[in-house]
Amino acid sequence: MSAYTLLQLLEVAISSLILLVGVLKGWPPVALLGGGFLIGKAILNILWPEGGTVYRRSLIGYGVAFVFVPGGAIIAHFTG
């Protein structure tokens, strides 16, 4: 297994723990943060067949997550 694969698995494990803590403790912003990290990682990997550097794909994936997390926190604030 390559170092890059191990790094990705570690990132997913940490993001999943953040998401789990947010859900179990009832902290919507923390759950959104964990979900945002997972969304970013998913988009990064979805864009892999399109080509481009890992930095470009990371910027796109985590850029989408950067919009998702505060947007979800705003919605959670006004609906909760």
How crowded is residue 79: how many other Cβ atoms within 10 Å of its Cβ? 7
pLDDT digits (tens, 9 = 90+) for 19-54: 999 999 999 999 999 999 999 999 999 999 988 898
| Confidence at 80, pLDDT banded by 50, 70, 90 | confident
- What's residue 4's pLDDT? 85
- What's residue 51's pLDDT? 85
Classify 32 as helix, strand or coil: helix
- How far apart are alpha carbons 80 and 6 in whole angstroms? 38
- How far apart are alpha carbons 49 and 10 in whole angstroms? 22
| Mean of pLDDT over the chain | 93
Token representation of residue 75: 């919605």
- What's residue 1's pLDDT? 82
